[in-house]
Structure 1
């Protein structure tokens, strides 16, 4: 693809074929779609794209080899013509500079390359019904060439514009080459992640022998060995003893992480010392890195509102410019009595100085760089629209347990009137909580694991969980068991946090303590410094929620809320202003989905991660501030780029119509206008945060 409009054209073609969720990316040269109609196959789609003049390959190839060859051939022959033009502008003239045959010979290679290259692209875009920038370039360059050919036939040096025609094609080829080179840099985050899945590994065979294999040859359940300094080749369950892993490339966390037997070693992390032995759990697209790549690409495909607006403008840009060019010629020649030669040059200048690609590239390049910088910092954003919303955030809502607190609970001894009942109560709690993924349930399972003794327990016929309330069970004698919050409707709440009831009678209670995360206070302070209001939305009781809110200086809090009540509160806030919620539990999933932006931490429940649009990979809240700051910078960058793209065309086109810019300079300015937009996006990688 030669420009962003090519991607628009292919998108429309695929949509006309009945494909759904179509996304074509000019930056990476990738197309994604869903076939819901059995009447068309992938092979037929490939053939259709090929007929449009594009090459379809399995792997994305943004190679510059072909573009480089065309550019250098054109530059070698066109450079003397451009030099003649500059010298004559300074009053330096030599007879051979005006020789129309010399101009023709020097211009011919660039003209041939340009007419084939831009002509083919222009034809394909017209065939798709989405005229692109190359229509303007081909029309302008060809008009100058035809006019010059008339001069060649008449041997009239006053009609010699071969330098203009060749200069247009050569300078635009130069701009395209620089643009592709710059665009490739905007996808550096994806390339960095993809490189983590390459390389080789050492596989241990059943007979104890070790063999070297490529990463692509690794299979599930293979036992792999990793030495100090080497990269973990796939997601593995650790078999060996404790090891230290560098997860900075995945999570952005610089400190090494201690992993134990049974823990997950993420592919792409690096072993500090010793030997790691592990069994492959996931690889390729199913691994953590593979999922990160998929999410980064998903973010690129989800367009923010500003990009959708720019796409609409660029879709009508080329027809409007063609009409302006024709109007320029007619008005100049017939209304102002300007010579046909000057009128033609003005109309050609209008064609070649116009730049729809700057509009098409302004937002996707900024989004790609912003999403890439976030990925390198250990923050995954699932959509460009999400990035835009996060950059304009007004309210941040926190779940308390496991989000503002560590989620590592200390469970007290059972408070019961029957002290000899403690072992039975702990075994009963362990059995009931086995079905729950709630952080408190996990702590109970850890604390009471040694008391797991099914022989002393009744046989349960049914066990279920009510999200945000507790777990219940019925045994074979129809006895009802409940472990959770104090039941609604009972007159008085005892001074405890968790209650075990048998047939609606309290058998035991527990006091639960939890620590506030060490980074939580600085995060809340940072949000306030950014004029973002904060509140807690928790299912925990009033006293504990109030204590955390007071300790952290959070503006408002809601306590003892069920998932349905949380959903209502989030809906109200999100309807009023852009609101984000960060949570980690299954009961948070509906609220994360309903919030303007749902945020989850990587060690949260699977449902919370799937419901969120933003994932903090290292589970550290401090990354939240970094995510907001990078999003703000990205939104500012894309606004600046769109402003530049519009301003450039608004100023440049009238100047060309008035005759202040000749076509050669117009082509040069147009070629570099794209680079300003891309350069502005790339600068986002180096801008300082808040």
Structure 2
């Protein structure tokens, strides 16, 4: 059996996690799959004689999401991708908030003593004009997510948001442009554009804060990756050549001067020095190194100059293995998270059933205007019950916990170990601990 970690974009809630996991586990040759919402990745165990990585990716695509490769040394690319997501989330929230503000003023102005000298019909048309881009541009991700879920014959957080806001929006459109269809006892029907716009804006704010939290939690991996220099001074026929670390091969001879970071793992063949290896060993005093002794990529040369031969490069270095360990820990699931994901997978359809029941009870037994009251109650149940926090709280806590640990030189094996650490009452440390 082999393991592979694959990035997944497009997931928004714990119901998405469950859907992707189930899709992967149904594949031939797949013995296990763990999908993590906070790290936006999946760890899959598969039989290479039966399945290949491309096949695993096709299973993810089939579930309605986009797979991408995770590379151990792609810290800069990951950081740029996170920053782009953060910029887009902030842009959508700000524009949505600016468009929602006049809608709220037009809808609620009379309640706060703000008289706006325009007719109600014109006010409704203005609210329609402001709300439409909020729903179908800023909130487009929720709508497309709901469509994807529907194609998979399932539901998720996007379903709740889309159905709730679209119900309020289209009712308001009818009330604005064809009010005679829903007029009761000659009363002009109310509109709920502000409800749809404000719901999308508030959830976009939550998405921005969520994206920001994910970025901070992933900084631990970026900091570890930054310990390795971008280039190495490789000796080619006695001549020094500046070479990207990604192009260094096993057997290359590398020159290191005082103050430089060591690019890869290797063995000294000429010279001696004192090297700060505290990032690996925890020992604050620099280690004296000479010919025949090993050096670790990411450690810092302090005093002398030396030449060493590369023994481990790329994903095989000690630092790369630590990065992989931290990433695996952040992507692992604690028992509490497994329970939360299971509950969330059943939570959404139950909420939809309760919302529909609420609508029909109000419509059948409520006071006039029954349809309006039933619709408002339906939207309230759908939106308030969004299980965003249910699927994100635990994985985000694990990301922050393991990330902070890595910052301080403590490597946590997985989420379960972190959860059990709360019960520790005695810790035994050696002299470097």
Decide: shared fold, TM above 0.5. yes
1:92 is matched with 114
Q: Distance in 2 between matches of 1:287 and 1:385?
A: 26
Moved over 6 A (4+): none
| Structure exhibiting the larger radius of gyration computed from Cα positions | 1
1:43 is matched with 54
Determine helix, strand or coil for the equivalent of 2:158: helix
2:406 is matched with 375
2:313 aligned residue (276, 283, 286) = 283
1:56 is matched with 67
Alpha-carbon RMSD across the aligned residues, in angstroms, is 2.6
Cα offset for 1:155? 4.9
Greater shift after overlay, 46-55 or 280-289? 46-55
Determine helix, strand or coil for the equivalent of 2:65: coil
2:104 is matched with 82
Q: Distance in 2 between matches of 1:16 and 1:301?
A: 21
2:350 is matched with 320
Residues 141 and 164, structure 1, Cα contact 8 Å, conserved in 2 = yes
2:200 aligned residue (169, 193, 205) = 169
Greater shift after overlay, 103-112 or 330-339? 330-339
Q: Distance in 2 between matches of 1:51 and 1:388?
A: 33
Alpha carbons of structure 1 residues 21 and 307: separation in structure 2 relative to 1, 3 Å: same
Alpha carbons of structure 1 residues 393 and 102: separation in structure 2 relative to 1, 3 Å: same
Q: Distance in 1 between matches of 2:102 and 2:48?
A: 56
Cα offset for 1:167? 2.1
Alpha carbons of structure 1 residues 277 and 87: separation in structure 2 relative to 1, 3 Å: farther
Q: Distance in 2 between matches of 1:231 and 1:253?
A: 17
| 1:288-303 paired onto structure 2 within 5 Å | 288-303=318-333
Determine helix, strand or coil for the equivalent of 2:66: coil
1:12 aligned residue (22, 29, 37) = 22
Aligned residues: 401
Residues 254 and 310, structure 2, Cα contact 8 Å, conserved in 1 = yes
Residues 332 and 338, structure 1, Cα contact 8 Å, conserved in 2 = no
1:263 aligned residue (283, 293, 296) = 293
Residues 115 and 142, structure 1, Cα contact 8 Å, conserved in 2 = no
Alpha carbons of structure 1 residues 269 and 395: separation in structure 2 relative to 1, 3 Å: closer
Cα offset for 1:621? 5.3
Higher RCO, Cα 8 Å, sep 6+: 2
Q: Distance in 2 between matches of 1:359 and 1:621?
A: 41
Cα offset for 1:228? 2.0
Cα offset for 1:129? 5.4
| 1:355-370 paired onto structure 2 within 5 Å | 355-370=386-401
2:267 is matched with 237
Q: Distance in 1 between matches of 2:362 and 2:167?
A: 17
Pair 1:123 & 2:159 matched? no
Cα offset for 1:71? 3.5
Residues 283 and 432, structure 2, Cα contact 8 Å, conserved in 1 = no
Determine helix, strand or coil for the equivalent of 1:381: coil
Determine helix, strand or coil for the equivalent of 1:378: coil
Residues 10 and 128, structure 1, Cα contact 8 Å, conserved in 2 = no
Unmatched runs of 5 consecutive residues or more in structure 1: 397-519, 524-619, 624-690
2:3 is matched with none
Cα offset for 1:2? 4.2
Pair 1:23 & 2:51 matched? no
Cα offset for 1:622? 6.0
Unmatched runs of 5 consecutive residues or more in structure 2: 1-9, 71-77, 181-187
| 1:200-279 paired onto structure 2 within 5 Å | 200-205=231-236, 207-279=237-309
TM-score (norm 1): 0.54
1:150 is matched with 174
Q: Distance in 2 between matches of 1:218 and 1:30?
A: 29
